[in-house]
Structure 1
Amino acid sequence: MQHSSTADIETSRSDTSHSGKRLDGYFNVRRRGSTLKTEILAGVATFLASMYIIVVNPAILSDAGIPFSAALSATVLISFMSSLAMGLYARNPILVAPGMGMNALFTYTLVMGAGLSWEVALGCVFWSGVLFATLALFNVRQAIIDAIPESLRYAITCGIGLFITFIGFKNAGFIVGSEATLVSLGQLSPTLITFFTGMMATVVFVIWRFNGALILGIVLTTLLAVPMGRLWGGDILVEWSGMAAWPDFSVVMQVDIWGALKVAYLPFIFVMLFTNFFDALSCFMALSESADLKDEQGNPRNLKRSMTVDAFASMIAAPLGTSAAQTFIESGAGVSQGGRTGLVAVVISLLFLPFLFLSPLLSLVPSIATAPALVLVGLFMLAPIGKIEWTRFEQAFPAFLAIILMPLTYSITLGIAFGFLSFVVIKVCTGRLTDIKPAMWVSAALSVVMLATTH
């Protein structure tokens, strides 16, 4: 982890302009042991590590029926607004943007799985944000944390990771449907070879620790796909439609807030709330540990303010036309470069803005080019699997169900529902009722309602 030397700080003092001094004073850059240059470079590092979301999020949301250009505008806007708020209000070096997992839940579970329109699904996103904001404002996070066993929290992250990986393989045609075996390897073709080459190149970029390894993989795979349909292969995958255009705000305020208020949709709202809440909390805790971003009591710095920003970002995402925004663990890229203050998040937010006008250029990217990023994001999300106590069967079985059922049922919600239900049933049957906190009883009840009303 990079730290600034005394000489660096003195150089920063002598070179800092009047505006730089104001920034330094507002963000306490030097007091945090950093420099303005380090904070700016840390912001660039985090942006490069996470800018794949500008392409990948619209690609996933377009499967739900939201136009790619409109989803891209919404992605950039919420990333800019929420990261700016994280920097100026919470003063933490953390990126907030539409989350992987949340977009998959939105598209493949709510819209394609349960049959909700994308407008109603956005309404579910909105209400989950309202509940998240309420929890953040009243600071009741500890009660909820204590109610859900750690094994299930880890399992849900891992299950979503497997689900996202499965989607990546499916979008690339690497895995296809089969009447005999349900799924099978796709036929060897130029498309499949291009995807596999791009995926392996992205893996090498990650191993070499390139900043922006995933976006480099997307660019390379797109370039490899250019000859498709021209020199070999079937359909043309990459077609030029222009460099820049005005932002597409056609889905702004198209959210169906009141249509989402049905009893049958409550489990979906809860699952979104649960996933976003714990993703945010775990991200804050992990970053605070790795970079010593702690307060005097040893808790993550400005946690309540950071959670509040995350909550309102989720609520605002729906009217803008995208799935919920959440904290990005890729923020660790900037932290590892020495970023320590909210100035990092401000830099990140400003770097997003130019992409509002580049939707024609970014629409060049075919699904086989975003697929490697999905596969690797799924791998990254599997990191907590070693923290599950597999030797304790009463903990291991609910976790296993949650992990395995998400990709097998093509539903994040079903994986969570059966994970919760099995945990409660096991505790009841073994006479350990005191292990079941009120929030788990509510979770199990909502799971039953969801299964009864949607299946």
Structure 2
Amino acid sequence: MQDFFELKKNNTTVQTEIIAGVASFLATSYIIVVNPSVLSQAGMPFAGVLTATVIVCFFSSLMMGLYAKNPIIVAPGMGLNAFFTYSAVLGLGVTWQVALGAVFWSGIVFLLLSAFNIRTLILLAIPRPLRYAIAAGIGLFITLIGFANAKFIVANPATILSIGDITPSVLTFLAGLLLTAVLLTKQVKGGILFGILFTTLAAYPLGRWWGLGADPQVNWQGVFAAPDFSLLLQLDYINSLQWAVVPVIFAFVFTDMFDSISTFVGLAEAANLTDAQGQPRNIKRSLMTDAFATTLAGLVGSSPGTAYIESAVGIEAGGRTGLTAVVGALLFLPFLFLAPLLSVIPAIATAPALVLVGVFMVRPVTKVDWQQLDEAIPAFLAMVLIPFSYSITQGIIWGFLSWTAMKLVSGKTQDITLALLVIDAFCILALFVH
């Protein structure tokens, strides 16, 4: 294990990697319940999607750990599941079987792009200031998700966002945030994991379990639930190739591709997971894993799989090798049978970790030359539009387009590569494909 995962080379230990794997799992485990709740609105059986979700999480994260050797969890993507349900099925009126076929074919496109290094070329075409800005933007995005999960930040028609009511659950979140911050400041190993466990335990004396609303009543759902394989191979891979479905396939390809690339870039820049050339470590294998996750999702009955930005929680807990992803993958597997147990962990338990991870992910933004405005302005737009639009993809799109525009009007056409122009073309196309 020491040699396979190169633990000494990465200045880590088995204990640290296990703690990091548990932390990453806790930060991403919400998808086991949330993904079925979204896709079931497309007419898919809740239990079937839950089983499919666990299968995607397990095999894809295991592949990321053993094949790509990166500490990144792979799971069905939030946003992608919303597009599947609300845009493809409910919006365009295609059946969920056809939508699953579109997921499958987008995965095949991913595999081809990855196998021939096209996705890697796209990644290498991202200017470094944009990489730094994307990392910071993802950090702000994760922080916003944490605050929203805790209902510390809520929607407000008058001001768009505002501070929520000070409820028992919000106070519990604040206590967990303070403790986790202290543990990190004191450099306590596993501080993020201890913070998650403390916040979960602190919620218990309130006399509440956690479901919907700020202070929900008891929501105990039992312990065991048998897996449901009813969605296995239910995709319609023939009708999903109709011309009317092509925009759906393209949207899956574009959104998943840039979400995963930006996630790899952001995590690599924030945690120094780079190779000798300064590029994200084992990037081709990581992208192949991401492509495998999407293809597998279509076969077993889920929306596309993608690398998870919440993996930053485990990375900040010390995870540096594929062992972190392997531990996370193994922790998903029992929930084929034990999914109801996840109702015990409230969203506020992982919220402090998500908020504080933002502190570490914004570090690369200091590498941007803010005096050079033709680079600073696109970097700034990419950074702020990711959380402001609640979309990594939108931040990427406008970051690229503004970069090209600024370089063009500044007369620095040598900074505009052919690969960048191709990316810009896809960015423009993506703006009109929903």
Flag whether TM exceeds 0.5 (same fold).
yes
Q: Distance in 1 between matches of 2:112 and 2:428?
A: 25
CA pair 303-106 structure 1, distance change in 2 beyond 3 A: closer
Aligned equivalent of 1:166? 144
Please, what TM-score do these two structures have when normalized by structure 2?
Answer: 0.75
Maintained 8 Å contact 1:174/1:186: yes
Q: 1:180 pairs with 141, 158, 168, which one?
A: 158
Q: Deviations over 1:116-148 (max 9, x none)?
A: 689587666545543432233223455323422
**Are 2:400 and 1:420 equivalent residues in the alignment?**
yes
Q: Deviations over 1:393-446 (max 9, x none)?
A: 111111211221233233333222222221122122223333222232233223
Aligned equivalent of 1:236? 216
Q: Distance in 1 between matches of 2:269 and 2:155?
A: 40
Q: 2:22 pairs with 39, 43, 48, which one?
A: 48
CA pair 33-356 structure 1, distance change in 2 beyond 3 A: closer
Q: 1:274 pairs with 255, 258, 268, which one?
A: 258
Q: Distance in 2 between matches of 1:406 and 1:344?
A: 27
CA pair 234-288 structure 1, distance change in 2 beyond 3 A: closer
Q: Distance in 1 between matches of 2:366 and 2:416?
A: 24
Task: Report the aligned-residue RMSD.
Answer: 4.2
Q: Which runs of 5+ in 1 are unaligned?
A: 1-23
Letter in 1 for 2:127: P
Aligned equivalent of 2:431? 451
CA pair 244-410 structure 1, distance change in 2 beyond 3 A: same
Maintained 8 Å contact 2:135/2:270: no
Q: CA deviation at 1:273?
A: 0.5
Q: Distance in 1 between matches of 2:214 and 2:120?
A: 55
Maintained 8 Å contact 2:54/2:336: yes
**Are 2:386 and 1:406 equivalent residues in the alignment?**
yes
Aligned-partner SS, 1:188: coil
Q: Distance in 1 between matches of 2:360 and 2:102?
A: 27
Q: 1:105 pairs with 79, 82, 99, which one?
A: 79
Letter in 1 for 2:59: M
Maintained 8 Å contact 1:154/1:388: yes
Q: CA deviation at 1:282?
A: 6.5
Aligned-partner SS, 1:445: helix
Aligned equivalent of 2:32? 58
**Are 2:126 and 1:145 equivalent residues in the alignment?**
no
CA pair 128-283 structure 1, distance change in 2 beyond 3 A: farther
Letter in 1 for 2:74: A
Letter in 2 for 1:430: S
Q: CA deviation at 1:149?
A: 0.8
**Are 2:204 and 1:223 equivalent residues in the alignment?**
yes
1:91-130 alignment, distance < 5 Å: 92=69, 94-98=71-75, 103-107=77-81, 119=96, 126-130=104-108
Q: Deviations over 1:74-122 (max 9, x none)?
A: 44433332344345555x3645422xxx734325677668976895876
Aligned equivalent of 2:335? 355
CA pair 333-179 structure 1, distance change in 2 beyond 3 A: closer
Q: CA deviation at 1:368?
A: 3.5
Q: Distance in 2 between matches of 1:148 and 1:316?
A: 28
CA pair 193-150 structure 1, distance change in 2 beyond 3 A: same
Aligned-partner SS, 1:243: coil
Q: Distance in 2 between matches of 1:174 and 1:382?
A: 21
Maintained 8 Å contact 2:114/2:291: yes
Letter in 1 for 2:63: A
Q: Distance in 1 between matches of 2:183 and 2:236?
A: 42
Aligned equivalent of 1:81? 59
Q: Distance in 2 between matches of 1:74 and 1:379?
A: 34
Q: CA deviation at 1:271?
A: 3.1
Q: Which runs of 5+ in 2 are unaligned?
A: none
Aligned equivalent of 1:396? 376
Q: CA deviation at 1:289?
A: 5.8
Maintained 8 Å contact 2:16/2:190: no
**Are 2:363 and 1:368 equivalent residues in the alignment?**
no
Q: Distance in 2 between matches of 1:379 and 1:109?
A: 30
1:199-348 alignment, distance < 5 Å: 199-207=177-185, 208-210=188-190, 212-213=193-194, 215-217=196-198, 219-220=200-201, 222-227=203-208, 235-249=215-229, 252-253=232-233, 258=240, 261-263=245-247, 266-267=250-251, 269-280=253-264, 304-320=284-300, 321-326=302-307, 328=311, 330=314
CA pair 344-274 structure 1, distance change in 2 beyond 3 A: closer
Letter in 2 for 1:388: V
**Are 2:406 and 1:431 equivalent residues in the alignment?**
no
CA pair 271-178 structure 1, distance change in 2 beyond 3 A: same
Maintained 8 Å contact 1:78/1:325: no
Aligned equivalent of 1:197? 175
Q: Distance in 2 between matches of 1:150 and 1:298?
A: 10
Maintained 8 Å contact 1:403/1:415: yes
Maintained 8 Å contact 1:109/1:413: no
**How many residues are treated as equivalent by the alignment?**
411
CA pair 298-218 structure 1, distance change in 2 beyond 3 A: same
Give identity over the alignment, percent: 40
Letter in 2 for 1:270: F
